[in-house]
Amino acid sequence: MHTAPSSHQPQAWALLVCAWLLALTATFAALFIGEVMGQAPCVLCWFQRAFMFPLVLVLGVACLLSDAGVWRYALPLAVMGWLIALYHNLLYFGLIPEDIQPCGAGPSCSGDDMTLFSVMPLPLLSLGVFSLMILLLVLIRRRVTP
């Protein structure tokens, strides 16, 4: 069903493009870190990627079709990725006891090589990206629903 254009649709489309570019940048960054830099992701990083990577396709198609209603499909993906990123950060910063950490056997995100410019931990960066994605999708929803 096609709805009549409203004055909010250009704003929603601009936000949609921003969300797609954010997902695309995060995906390329994750692939660069893994494939070019040779840093194997931990289990929780893999789960976060499982929710970020599809957003590139979902939001990309929505941009091509000018479908601001995509928030219905993209928001659950972003929220699930955010929840995993939140859990990952709670582990990273030691707020959850070590004995319940799921990624003890395999790569760890706690080393200095898992920071951006030796300052920003990758789990915190992921949480920030998912937070921004959720904000953009909520703004899109507000632009297209009465």
The full DSSP string for 114-134 is GEETTTEEHHHHHHHHHHHHH
pTM of the model: 0.85
The amino acid at residue 43 is V
Nearest C-alpha neighbor of 59 from the set 25, 7, 24, 8 = 24
Residue whose token pair is 């990952």: 88
Q: Could you tell me the domains of the chain?
A: 9-144 (1.20.1550)
Q: What is the pLDDT of residues 62-119, one digit of tens each?
A: 999 999 999 999 999 999 999 999 999 998 888 887 665 555 555 666 655 667 666 7
Q: Which residues contact 23 (CB under 8 A, 6 or more apart)?
A: 52, 55, 56, 59, 133
Q: Which helix (H) or strand (E) holds 136?
A: helix 122-144
CA dihedral 102→19→73→127, nearest 10 degrees, is: 20
Q: Is the dihedral of CA 93, 98, 101, 107 positive or negative?
A: positive
